[in-house]
Amino acid sequence: DAKTTQPTSMDCAEGRAANLPCNHSTISGNEYVYWYRQIHSQGPQYIIHGLKNNETNEMASLIITEDRKSSTLILPHATLRDTAVYYCIVIGKAAGNKLTFGGGTRVLVKP
Amino acid sequence: NAGVTQTPKFRVLKTGQSMTLLCAQDMNHEYMYWYRQDPGMGLRLIHYSVGEGTTAKGEVPDGYNVSRLKKQNFLLGLESAAPSQTSVYFCASSSTSGRAQLYNEQFFGPGTRLTVL
């Protein structure tokens, strides 16, 4: 599975959009980009995933560059409850793949 | 649905003691996983199971054993606890039904906080 690089931390103002970048320059053609987050002391929570098209759900949007070497998770209107560590994970499509959680980005949403 | 539950929530052991952590899921998922998370670190996979009666090693399996006698349960055992096993343990499950691209949507439990003195 491809390795990912994320900033260690970032701050965001409440009500503003939070844009979380992720680099995955070694991603292969059949690998997906998944995003999870972990709110303090809780288990990780799935947010969104994509292959090559941009994706949107009730939680976030995922923008993947055309060459698929990087992506951005967008939280459109950050709230204090979005304060968490966000993990970008690249993984193949097969079932039972082992998620590899790197350091992630620690996002602090400030009032 | 309760989702993924873990028992106990907290536990303190002395070095050399044994214990079993229980994970239960009510989503009829085929795959189940045990992770550990040390302070300030990401999760690391200990063992996983692709179905009832099968288990496999993950990234950090030493010192742990697992069993999957029933589809809904995945047990993690520590035979002789060591201080290095002080950690938060998370269980997760995922499905192989439905859209293949969702196979890696794992559902996590609330965690078990284990301290080994």
The reply to whether residue B110 touches residue A42, judged by beta carbons under 8 angstroms, is yes
pLDDT in tens, B23-40: 999 999 989 999 999 988
Single-letter amino acid code for the residue at A43: G
Residues of B in contact with A44 (CB under 8 A): 43, 90, 92, 106, 108
CA A98 and chain centroid, separation: 17
- Tracing tokens 């609330």 back to the chain, one arrives at B110
Contact B33, B15 (CB under 8 A): no
Q: Tokens 């260690």 map to which residue?
A: A8
- Report the pLDDT value the prediction gives residue A9, as an integer from 0 to 100: 96
Confidence of residue A103 (pLDDT cuts 50, 70, 90): confident
Smallest CA–CA distance, residue A14 to chain B, in Å, is 25
> Using one digit for the tens of pLDDT, what is the confidence trace for B61-112?
999 999 999 999 999 999 999 999 999 999 999 887 666 556 678 899 999 9
The residue to which tokens 């949507």 are assigned: B105
pLDDT at B97: 66
Distance from CA of B17 to the nearest CA of A (A): 25
pLDDT at residue B73 in the model? 97
Taking 90 as the threshold, does the pLDDT of residue A101 lie above it? Answer: no
Partners of B44 in the β-ladder: B36
* Residue A37 with chain B: CB contacts under 8 Å: none
Tens of pLDDT, residue by residue over A34-86, are 999 999 889 999 999 999 989 999 999 999 999 999 999 999 999 999 999 99
**B84/B89 Cα distance (integer angstroms):** 13
Look at B43 and A101 and tell me if their CB atoms are within 8 Å: yes
Please report which confidence band the pLDDT of residue A102 belongs to, taking 50, 70 and 90 as the band edges.
confident
Residue that is written with structure tokens 């965690």 in the block: B111
Q: Do B43 and A32 touch (CB under 8 A)?
A: no
Rounded CA-CA distance B73/B55 in Å is 12
What is residue B103's predicted lDDT score, i.e. its pLDDT?
62
Residue A99 pLDDT greater than 90, yes or no = no
Question: Please, is A42 exposed, middle or buried when counting C-beta atoms within 10 Å of its C-beta (0-12, 13-18, 19+)?
Answer: middle
Residues of chain A found within 8 Å of residue B52, distances taken between Cβ atoms: none
Which chain B residues are Cβ-neighbours of A93 within 8 angstroms?
Answer: 100-101, 103-104
Please tell me which residue of chain B has the smallest CA distance to A51.
B101
Mean pLDDT score of chain A, rounded to an integer? 91
Instruction: Output the pLDDT for position B41.
Output: 84
As a whole number of angstroms, the distance between CA A101 and CA B2 comes to 25
Q: What pLDDT, on the 0 to 100 scale, is given for residue A94?
A: 62
Chain A residues interacting with chain B (CB cutoff of 8 angstroms): 32, 34, 41-46, 49, 51, 87, 89, 91, 93-104
**Nearest residue of chain B to residue A96 (CA atoms):** B31
Report the C-alpha gap between B86 and A63 in whole angstroms.
38
The pLDDT assigned to A106 comes to 96
Q: How many CB atoms lie within 10 A of CB A14?
A: 15
